[in-house]
C-alpha cells in the first residue's frame, strides 16, 4: 500500500497545475530530500493547494521527514480530497476502512473509494479503489449502501456545478464540512433517519433494515 501511495503521489501531483514551490517540493520528494519537501509543501498546503496537502499527508503517513502520524495524514488528506484530489480520496477510503487516524467508518470509506474510482485515471489506482469499494460494500446494509451511493453522487454533482473551488478551508477552519466529511456523529440524510458507521439506518435509537 505504501509503495502504491508513493507512486500515486508522484503521478497525481505531477499532473496537477503546479507553482515553482510545488515543483521544487516534488523534486526534493523524488530524491528523498524530505526536509526540503516539507519546507516547500507546508506553506502551500496551508494555502489550500491540493497536491501539496496530499503529499504532506503522504509524508506523515509514511514517516518521511516527520514522525509517522496517521492523524496528521488524515488532517491533510481531507482538504485535498474535498477539492477532488483522487489520490487523497483513495487514501481517506483506506484510513476509514481500517480506522487509521480516524474512527473506523465503512460508510465514509465507501464514499471516498467511490469518488476515487470515478476520478483516478485508468490503471492500478482506479482498480484498487474499485476493489476496495466493492469489498466495503459487502459490509453495508442495502439502505446504508444506497445512502452512501447517493452521497457520492451528490458530491460529484456539486463539483460539476461549481467547477470545483480553487481552494479548500485550511485544517482547523470553522467552515462547515461537506456531508461526506463527518466522522463522529451519525450522518443524517435529511429524512429524519440517521445512518450508523456500519450502514444501519436508525430512527429513535433503533436500527431498521430499510426506510
Query: 3-state SS of the chain?
Result: CHHHHHHHHHHHHHHCCCCHHHHHHHHHHHCCCHHHHHHHHHHHHHCCCHHHHHHHHHHHHHCCCCCCCHHHHHHHHHHHHHCCCHHHHHHHHHHHHHCCCCCCCHHHHHHHHHHHHHHCCCCHHHHHHHHHHHHHHCCCCHHHHHHHHHHHHHHHHHHHHHCCCCCCCCCCCCCCCCHHHCCCCCEECCCCCEECCCCCEEECCEEECCC
Q: Kindly report, residue by residue over 125-154, the tens digit of the pLDDT.
A: 999 999 999 999 999 999 999 999 999 999
- Model pLDDT, residue 148: 97
108-126 confidence digits (pLDDT tens): 999 999 999 999 999 999 9
Residue that wins the pLDDT comparison between 142 and 8: 142
pLDDT in tens, 47-104: 999 999 999 999 999 999 999 999 999 999 999 999 999 999 999 999 999 999 999 9
Amino acid at each position: 500500500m505504501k509503495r502504491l501511495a508513493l507512486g500515486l503521489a508522484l503521478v497525481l501531483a505531477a499532473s496537477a497545475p503546479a507553482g515553482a514551490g510545488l515543483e521544487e517540493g516534488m523534486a526534493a520528494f523524488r530524491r528523498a530530500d524530505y526536509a526540503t519537501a516539507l519546507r516547500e509543501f507546508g506553506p502551500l498546503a496551508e494555502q489550500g493547494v491540493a497536491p501539496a496537502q496530499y503529499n504532506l499527508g503522504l509524508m506523515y503517513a509514511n514517516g518521511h521527514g516527520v514522525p509517522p502520524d496517521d492523524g496528521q495524514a488524515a488532517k491533510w488528506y481531507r482538504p485535498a480530497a474535498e477539492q477532488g484530489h483522487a489520490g487523497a480520496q483513495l487514501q481517506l477510503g483506506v484510513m476509514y476502512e481500517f480506522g487509521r487516524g480516524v474512527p473506523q467508518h465503512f460508510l465514509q470509506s465507501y464514499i471516498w473509494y467511490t469518488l476515487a474510482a470515478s476520478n483516478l485515471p485508468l490503471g492500478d489506482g482506479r482498480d484498487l479503489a474499485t476493489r476496495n469499494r466493492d469489498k466495503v460494500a459487502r459490509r453495508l446494509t442495502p439502505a446504508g449502501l444506497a445512502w452512501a451511493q447517493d452521497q457520492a453522487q451528490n458530491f460529484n454533482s456539486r463539483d460539476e456545478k461549481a467547477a470545483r473551488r480553487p481552494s479548500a478551508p485550511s485544517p482547523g477552519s470553522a467552515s462547515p464540512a461537506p456531508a461526506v466529511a463527518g466522522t463522529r456523529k451519525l450522518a443524517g440524510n435529511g429524512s429524519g433517519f440517521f445512518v450508523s458507521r456500519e450502514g444501519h439506518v436508525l430512527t429513535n435509537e433503533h436500527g431498521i433494515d430499510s426506510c
